[in-house]
């Protein structure tokens, strides 16, 4: 007995002819690998967005987070503990 049904992710596929006469739209269930890649991409995007907003709150320019000197200072402070 299954209490919770699994979430099904669908992808929309659009097929059309080169002459533009036939257009077919269908949906397919995404594979396990596609779901994992999408989740990893969303996690990376959320990390970067949070990092930029968080660093923007601390510093004046949020894009200073991508400078190499910022990371050197960060890791030096971690090693000092």
Domain ranges of the chain: 10-79
Question: Does pTM surpass 0.75?
Answer: no
| Residue 46 Cα distances to 6, 53, 66, 75, angstroms | 24, 11, 16, 22
The per-residue pLDDT for range 11-57, each reduced to its tens digit, is 666 666 666 666 666 667 777 788 888 899 999 999 888 888 888 88
Kind plus residue range of the DSSP H or E element containing 11:
strand 10-16
């Amino acid at each position: 007995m299954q209490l919770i049904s699994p979430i099904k992710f669908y992808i929309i596929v659009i097929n059309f002819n080169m002459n533009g006469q036939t257009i077919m739209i269908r949906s397919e269930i995404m594979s396990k690998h596609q779901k994992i890649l999408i989740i990893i991409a969303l996690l990376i995007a959320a990390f970067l967005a949070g990092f930029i907003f968080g660093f923007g709150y601390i510093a004046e320019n949020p894009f200073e987070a991508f400078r190499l000197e910022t990371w050197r200072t960060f890791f030096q402070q971690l090693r000092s503990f």
